[in-house]
Amino acid sequence: MTSGANPLTWSVSAGEFRAFLNSFAPLGHDVEALTTAAGIAFGSLDDPDARMPCTAYEAVIRYAQQTRPTRNLALRLAMNVPIGAFPLLDYLILTCDDIAAGVRQLSRYFRLVGNPMVFDVREEIDPIRVAMNGGIPFSIEYSATLLVLHFREETDGRFGAASLHFRHTPDDVREFEQVLGCAVETSAAWDGASISRDAWQLPLRRRDAVLRGVLERQARELVDRLPPPNSVASEIRRLLDAEVAAGNDTRIEHVARRLATSPRTLQRRLAAEGLSYQKVLDEWRKDAAHRHLAASALSIGEIAYLLGFSEPAPFHRAFKRWYGMTPQTFRQEQSHRYAAAWMP
């Protein structure tokens, strides 16, 4: 479900996929028809051991927007998702003592839902930054909405984000602000939520250390069975998302220092994976360029600077090497595809 990762390597349980499908029903969609559009037998959702590929999510969203176009679809769907729809992850979070511990738990165990997006929590910043790295705009909007609404419910209405930040621009920013009760910054340098220190310390009403301990043992067993996410390359890509969002440079010396190692050691670890730092950086820039051109209002020059190019010309050459076209042509094609998707 995200650029830079093979979607066939990511899957979710049938139960979690059914919870996602059920959120379409209040919007007037035929859930069984959506399942068919995704190439999945409706009856297979009853199998507790079945796994659904993340490509099924994309097929469902595409079909839904073609049949009943909905503005702010991710927001509307998340509003229909009850606590407990993702049982293990939800209760791992909500049995924590407070918001801070809950968000740390979310960051630690988010892999359980099969989404390759990564939460990067920066508690040294005020307000606290909960960045959502490596996700597509839909999953970022959906996850941000769930985070705010579910924590609001579990604090008896006391929780609220200080602000939300999106690299892209949602269909209707004002609706996001009204529903979630906070300002929304678009064309931002990073995706995620800012949380005040007062909100960070709010207690959760279901806090239960005993139940949480039982759930954590189960979660650790499940996580141990998942493919390892912590290759050196994946660490670097996550760090690049955070560092660029903070305005820092992308040179190996800086990245190595943030990873508490030396450039020579970092290169050696990458070589063991058959990679070089320049290769990882190039692939990260390729994916980030795609994301920004497809879903943000930043100018091409601004995107070039954001990705660490000294001027637009080298970015143009690199982009043509990556995609076989200029950034301008790519942005125009994406705009035409988006318009076509909204045609009845």
CATH of the domain at 276: 1.10.10.60
C-alpha distances in angstroms, 147 versus 62, 99, 106, 158, 305?
Answer: 24, 10, 9, 14, 31
Percent pLDDT > 90 in the chain is: 46
Compute the average pLDDT of residues 221-239: 71
Q: Which domain holds residue 163?
A: 78-227
Q: What is the pTM of this model?
A: 0.66
Higher pLDDT, 112 or 9: 112
- Regarding whether 244 and 125 lie in a shared domain, the answer is no
DSSP β-ladder status, 128-133 and 51-53: unpaired
Q: Which of 188, 195, 190 is nearest to 169 (CA)?
A: 188
pLDDT tier, 247 (very low <50, low <70, confident <90, very high otherwise): low
- Say if residue 18 is in the same domain as residue 83: no
| Same domain for 221 and 93 | yes
pLDDT confidence band for 229 (50 / 70 / 90): low
Domain boundary among 162, 195, 227: 227
The string over 219-258, giving b where at least 16 C-beta atoms fall within 10 Å of a residue's C-beta and e elsewhere, is beeeeeeeeeeebbbbbbbbbbbbbbbeeeebebeebbee
Do 15 and 42 lie in a common domain? Answer: yes
**Among 16, 40, 70, which residue terminates a domain?**
70
Q: Which of 5-9, 19-23, 279-283 has the lowest mean pLDDT?
A: 5-9
Model confidence at 311: pLDDT above 80: yes
Assigned token pair, 310: 């000294």
Q: Residue 117's pLDDT is what?
A: 81
196 and 296 assigned to the same domain? no
On whether both 128 and 215 belong to a single domain, the answer is yes
Q: Taking residues 165-191, report their average pLDDT.
A: 95
**All residues at 6 or more sequence positions from 211 whose CB lies less than 8 Å from its CB, including other chains:** 91, 95
Is residue 82 domain-shared with residue 211, that is, in the same domain?
A: yes
Mean pLDDT of 15-41: 88
Instruction: Give the pLDDT score at 4.
Output: 37
If asked whether residues 30 and 140 sit together in one domain, one would say no
pLDDT at 9 over 80: no
Q: Quick one: average pLDDT of 38-49?
A: 77
Q: What's the CA gap between 32 and 266, in Å, rounded?
A: 49
Q: Give the Cα separation of 298 and 302 in Å (integer).
A: 6
User: What's the structural domain count of the chain?
Assistant: 3
Of 8-17, 91-100, 113-122, 270-279, the range with the lowest mean pLDDT is: 8-17
Asked if residue 214 and residue 285 are part of one domain, the reply reads no
Contact 147, 105 (CB under 8 A): no
**Which domain-ending residue is among 227, 256, 278?**
227
Same domain (yes/no): 264, 181: no
What is the pLDDT, as a whole number, of residue 98?
97
Residues 220 and 85 in one domain: yes
Asked if 293 and 258 sit in the same domain, the reply is yes
Q: What average pLDDT does the segment 173-190 reach?
A: 96
- pLDDT averaged over every residue in the chain: 85
- Cα 63 versus chain centre, distance: 21
